[in-house]
A and B are shown apart, each in its own frame.
Chain A
Amino acid sequence: MEYGLYIDYEWCSGCHSCELACKQEHGLKTDEWGIRVVERLRKAKDGIVSEYIPIPTDLCNFCMTRVMEGKQPACVHHCMTKCMAFGPIEDMAKLAAKKKKTVIWGRSYPSRSELISATSA
């Protein structure tokens, strides 16, 4: 199944909760991060741009254990401005099509039913 992590970076306030939630969830060490918040702060023609964008790293597994339990990934669950969402990639694409300043990080994972059928086989 194809999943997407949707980020509406118009509303990412750079609070770092996704980074710390991920660390706690996966017991990551000091120099390990499953997601990083990148600050974009620069002078543009029409004023100053102040933006943050979280980017998952190779350590991110979309919290598949949580997802299998019907929960949200730890970053989405704890996001302070609720600017993140997670689900089937088609649903996320629909969200992204509706507004500017959004990104989707996609990946394919076996869904719960695919996992169950794989184990029983």
Chain B
Amino acid sequence: MKKTNEPDRRVHTVTWSAGPGCHGGCGVFIDVKDGKLVKMEGDPDHPYNNGRLCPRALAIKDFIYHPDRLQNPLKRTGKRGENKWERISWDEAYDLIEKRMKDIREKYGAESMIFIQGTGRNVGGWLLLLGYSYGSPNWLQGGLTGNSCFHPRLVSMRMTQGDYTVPDCSQFSQDRYEDPEFVLPECCMIWGQNPAKTCNDGFNANWIIDMMKRGTKTVVVDPVYTWIASKATIWLQLRPGTDGALALGLLNVIINEGIYDKEFVEKWTYGFDKLAERVQEYPPEKVSQITWVPKEKIIEAARLFAKSKPASIQWGVPVDLAPEGALVANSIIHLWTITGNIDIPGGMAIARMAYDVPPYPMSQEAIAEYYGDVMTPEQMAKRIGIDEYPVAKEFHWRAQADMILEALLTDKPYPLKGAWIAGNNMLASSANPRKYYEALNRLDFIVVVDLFMNPTAVALADVVLPAATMAERNGIRAWWTPLNAMESAVEVAGCKPDEEICFELARRLNPNLKWKSLEDLFNDFLRPSGLNYEQLKEKGWIFPPKGHPTQPYRRHEKGLLRKDGKPGFNTPTGKVELYSTHFERWGYDPLPYYEEPHMSPYSTPELAKKYPLILTTGRRSVLYFHSEHRNIKPLRELEPDPVLEIHPDTASSLGIEDGDWVWVENAHGRCKRKAKYFHGVHPKVVQSSHGWWLPEKRAEDLFDLWEVNINQLIPDGTQAKCGFGGGQYKSLLCKVYRADEGIEGIYKKETL
């Protein structure tokens, strides 16, 4: 007989965005009883996580059944910010949205409606479908100066090597580390990334730790002594924002000492001599002065990395956020290129979507292929930012975020009238959030789609739609490998997945849409895999066979990368371009160079007298995904306060005790933090987490957003010359002083 507490059903799916929030794809079993999730457990056979799960995934029950979860579409009745709403049905919400959006399209043109996603990965594609079906090319990740989250690295990889690469940690094989073809890297450089706290797209960062346990040496590039830095063979404690100089210094040593892969450079790269000449401007002595990293350590790290074969580089968002982020990305690409590590076992594997099944179309050609020619070329040409930034025009497929902000405020190149904001708590996460507040508030109509009420929804939304978590979604999860099916395990009354919301509205706005149902669409996307959605669901996940163009290794030798079938890389010269022919064509410097942060003791010495500390923000917590999870008690309890990590000597000199509330301030704004003594930051550097708002406080006060939002100290408009990179979230100036009082009513740790 069945035990009473036994689940009725066990559903296999993968995590993706809403819930844990992240970009990962961990295989999970969801136990369901009486239609409710009772437990989510890691699948030991899934090669992505082999059973393990992060605390956010393990707290998903608290997330799904949280009493504050939005479960009705809401229509604003008071003024924006008053938090007065009327509950309406989904049909009423769709009717209202359809009418308002059609009015805007008729009066001002579809392009005046912008479609903003956050970083949630199973939102973007559907939002793009909605935006394009409506007729607007203005789809973007809003709030990111210089599109500075992965996009600079993405465009640089595409321009320079024609494909994306990721460190090969055996993830392309079901057998993982046991696969006989896989070679453990001798060295992995971990550049501005904390594998113990956060993962990347389709990349479980714990793989790096797996490899370290198996013997891989590491060079950790981080201003902060993280746990991973404590395990490093060599830790390079650089001054925040000087990543570009460090990369050029490492190239200098490797090139001048002749410890690069001469055969690979000769055969597969373009412009080596010019790069060799450029890096002469960055000898280790000079780079040491810029970065504060001792010269000997730079040389030692360069030698360890170059002499290790295979070797890889795991990088994080500080690369994008450095001044001229796209160029910093290029310098790092050059590091793994000249050492001959591209697409070899244990090196930098070229990562394509398994079977070329897209998570969503990721280029203009793919958009046309999948969504059809829904827009005329004239309409497509209205995409904001492409006139200013040829990189955006040719190598990207979204609007440029800084140009959107300008358009919102200046009505140029044309007035914007409406916004759809899905899973983006912009007032908590954008650079210069008060400017975004003012800019977005100028719009006539704003739809916010999210799972909980948040400052952005309260302050700006006219309609709020309740979205669903990953446990409530059917779908396909295609990002690198493997290719996974997502299966909905439970329903939460009133909530809908973005897939459904966007699809249903897309059909209303474009009656000619070629798919009749979401499953039609999934099946269409899945065609290259030879399976349909039901079949994929049956299997759970699949890998393409060895030898398939979307599987490693050495595809440049085999002619598997270029459309013409010739050996080489998918670039104009067919080689990895150390000297960028694209940048040359557009009139930019084709070689990487170093640029000092916008605010720094060297670029703004006068300002540094007033604000003597370097502030680096965005320190990751494994408990929170950006601005999410502050309302999930078991997670919040482990990190209840927004914290500023400060060196004890610096703190004492300022009369600050461990645990004191402090103000962190610069010319742009200030916010409160709780000081935490930490020897692992340089005495001249302070570090803080980001994304804070206080769900326990009043909605009408925007959940005390302005008291705790550190992004108020971050200016906008610092984007790189090419429009990609340069958001100054990591290298600011500030001063820190004791606050007279803490924050009344802030969540208190329960007794432990």
Q: A: which residues have CB within 8 A of B?
A: 11, 13-17, 19-21, 23-25, 30-31, 33, 36, 41-43, 48-50, 52, 74, 77-82
Are A30 and B227 touching (Cβ within 8 A)?
no
**4 shortest interchain CB distances as A-B pairs:** A13-B196, A20-B58, A31-B750, A20-B55
Asked if B44 contacts A23 (CB within 8 A), the reply is no
Q: Pick the most buried of A41, A42, A80: most chain B CB atoms within 10 A of its CB.
A: A80
**Nearest-CB residue, chain A, relative to B676:** A41
Chain A proximity of B432: nearest CB distance (Å): 33
Does any Cβ of A come within 8 Å of B53's Cβ? yes
| Contact pick for A31, options B52, B206, B752, CB 8 Å | B752
B105 interface hit (Cβ, 8 Å): no
B570 shortest CB reach to chain A, Å: 35
Residue contact B623 to A79, C-beta cutoff 8 Å: no
A48-B230 contact in complex given A15-B54, A17-B55, A24-B39, C-beta closer than 8 Å: yes
1/0 contact trace for B476-517 toward A, CB 8 Å? 000000000000000000000000000000000000000000
Q: Is there contact, CB below 8 Å, between B210 and A82?
A: yes
CB distance B750 to A14 under 8 Å?
A: no
> Measured between C-beta atoms, what is the minimum distance from B68 to chain A in Å?
16
Interface residue? B751 (CB, 8 A):
yes
Contacts A/B (CB < 8 Å), 12 sampled: A14-B196, A15-B55, A20-B55, A20-B634, A21-B53, A23-B58, A50-B225, A77-B42, A80-B54, A80-B196, A81-B196, A81-B209
Cβ–Cβ contact A77 & B41, under 8 A: yes
Query: A20-B59, A30-B750 are contacts. A78–B230 as well, Cβ < 8 Å?
Result: no
Name the one of A14, A24, A82 contacting B59, with C-beta atoms under 8 angstroms. A24
Tell me the complex Cα distance, A23–B51, Å: 17
When A20-B58, A24-B59, A81-B209 are in contact, do A50 and B52 touch as well, CB less than 8 Å?
no
Nearest A residue to B750, CB-CB: A31
B637 at the interface (CB under 8 A from A): yes
Question: Does B546 count as interface, using CB distance less than 8 angstroms?
Answer: no
User: Contact partner of B680 among A11, A19, A50, CB < 8 A?
Assistant: A50
Q: Out of A14, A24, A43, A81, which one reaches B58, CB within 8 Å?
A: A24
Is the beta-carbon distance between B196 and A15 smaller than 8 angstroms? yes
- With A48-B679, A81-B206 known as contacts, the answer to whether A17 contacts B227 (CB < 8 A) is no
Among A16, A30, A48, the one with the most B-chain Cβ atoms within 10 Å of its Cβ is A16
Shortest C-beta distance, B642 to chain A (Å), equals: 18
With a CB–CB cut-off of 8 A, which chain A residues contact B52? 17, 77-80, 82
Q: Does B633 contact A (CB under 8 A)?
A: yes
Tell me which residues from 17 to 57 in chain B have a Cβ below 8 Å from any Cβ of chain A: 39-42, 44, 50-55
Name the A residues within 8 Å of B42 (CB-CB): 77-78
Residues of chain B within 8 A (CB-CB) of A14 are: 196, 227, 622
Chain B 148-161: CB-based contact to A (< 8 A → 1; otherwise 0): 00000000000000
CB distance from B623 to the nearest CB of A (A): 7
Q: How far, in Å, is B330 (CB) from chain A's closest CB?
A: 31
Given known A13-B209, A24-B39, contact A19–B55 (CB-CB < 8 A): yes
Chain A hits for B227, CB < 8 A? 13-14, 50, 52
Whether the Cβ atoms of A16 and B210 lie closer than 8 Å is: no
Across-interface contacts of A30 in B (CB, < 8 A) = 633-634, 637, 750
Contact A17 B54 (CB under 8 A): yes
Highest count of chain B CB atoms <10 Å: which of A21, A24, A25: A24
Additional A-B contacts beyond A16-B623, A78-B52, A82-B210 (16; CB < 8 A):
A13-B209, A13-B228, A15-B55, A17-B53, A20-B634, A24-B58, A31-B750, A31-B752, A42-B679, A50-B225, A50-B227, A77-B52, A78-B51, A80-B54, A81-B196, A82-B50
Instruction: Please report the C-alpha to C-alpha distance between residue A36 and residue B229 in the assembled complex, in whole angstroms.
Output: 23
CB distance from A15 to the nearest CB of B (A): 5
Contacts of B206 in A (CB 8 A): 80-81
Bound state CA distance, A78 and B622, in angstroms? Answer: 14
Does A24 contact B61, Cβ atoms closer than 8 Å? yes
| CB contact under 8 A between A16 and B230, given known A33-B752, A81-B206 | no
B1 interfacial contact with A, CB 8 Å: no
A83 nearest CB across to chain B (Å):
8
Chain B, Cβ-Cβ closest to A83:
B213
Task: Give Cα distance in the complex from A78 to B58, angstroms.
Answer: 9
Q: What residues on A are CB-neighbors of B229 within 8 Å?
A: 50
Bound together, the chains give a CA A52 to CA B231 distance in angstroms of 13
Q: When the two chains form their complex, are residues B44 and A77 in contact, meaning their CB atoms are under 8 A apart?
A: yes
Cβ proximity bits B434-459 to A, threshold 8 Å, 1 near / 0 not: 00000000000000000000000000
Task: Tell me whether B678 is interfacial, beta carbon within 8 Å.
Answer: yes
Name the A residues within 8 Å of B53 (CB-CB).
Answer: 17, 21, 78, 80
- Chain A residue nearest to B678 in the complex (CB): A41
Does the CB pair A16–B55 fall under 8 Å? Answer: yes
List B contacts of A82 (CB < 8 A). 50, 52, 210, 213
Contact A15 B39 (CB under 8 A): no
* B230 contacts A50, C-beta separation under 8 Å: yes
With a cutoff of 8 Å between Cβ atoms, the chain B residues found around residue A74 in the complex are: 41
For A24, list chain B residues within 8 Å (CB). Answer: 39-40, 58-59, 61
Which residues, 98 to 125 on B, are CB-close (under 8 Å) to A?
A: none
Which residue in chain A gives the minimum CB-CB distance to B749?
A31
CA distance A31 to B633 in the complex (A): 10
Contact of A48 with B58 at beta-carbon distance under 8 Å, contacts A30-B634, A31-B752 already known? no
Interface string of B634-669 (1 = CB under 8 A from A): 110110000000000000000000000000000000
State the CA gap A52–B227 with chains docked (Å): 9
Residues on the A chain within 8 Å of B197, using CB: 13, 15
CA of A52 to CA of B750 in the docked complex: distance in angstroms?
Answer: 21
Report chain A residues within 8 Å CB of B58: 17, 20-21, 23-24, 78
A25 and B679: CB pair below 8 A?
A: no
Point out the residue from A20, A33, A48, A81 that lies within 8 Å of B225, measured CB to CB.
A48
**Partner among B213, B635, B679, B751 whose Cβ is within 8 Å of the Cβ of A11:** B213
List the B side residues contacting A41 at CB < 8 Å.
Answer: 678-680
A59 vs B276: C-alpha distance in the bound complex, in angstroms?
A: 62
* Distance of A24 Cα from B54 Cα, bound (Å): 12
Partner of A16, one of B40, B226, B622: B622
Q: List the B side residues contacting A33 at CB < 8 Å.
A: 752
Chain B contacts of A25 at CB under 8 A? 39
Chain B residues near A20: list those with CB within 8 A: 55, 58-59, 634-635
Chain B neighbourhood of A42, CB < 8 A: 679
B residues near A15, Cβ cutoff 8 Å: 54-55, 196-197, 622
Specify which chain B residues have a CB less than 8 angstroms from the CB of A36 in the assembled complex. 752
B51:A77 contact, CB within 8 angstroms? yes
Docked CA distance A42–B209 (Å):
22
Per the bound structure, the CA–CA distance linking A25 and B58 in Å amounts to: 9
Query: Which residue of B is nearest A65, CB measured?
Result: B5
- Closest approach, in angstroms, between the C-beta of A64 and any C-beta of chain B? 15
Q: Compute how far the CA of A19 lies from the CA of B58 in the bound complex, rounded to whole angstroms.
A: 9
Cβ contact of B751, chosen from A31, A78, A80, cutoff 8 A: A31
CA distance A30 to B330 in the complex (A): 47
Q: Nearest chain B CB to A61's CB is how many angstroms away?
A: 16
List A contacts of B39 (CB < 8 A).
24-25
- Nearest A residue to B213 by beta-carbon distance? A11
- Bound CA span A104–B750, Å: 29
Distance, CA A74 to CA B51, complexed state (A): 10
A31 to B748, CA, bound (A): 12
Q: Across the interface, which residues of B come within 8 angstroms of A19, CB to CB?
A: 55, 634, 638
Q: Which residues of A contact B196 (CB under 8 A)?
A: 13-15, 80-81
B residues less than 8 Å from A79 (CB atoms): 52
Task: Note all chain A residues with C-beta closer than 8 A to B40.
Answer: 24
Chain A residue at minimal CB-CB distance from B229 = A50
**Bound-state Cα–Cα, A4 to B53, Å:** 22
Q: Which residues of chain B from 618 to 639 have a CB within 8 Å of any chain A CB?
A: 622-623, 633-635, 637-638
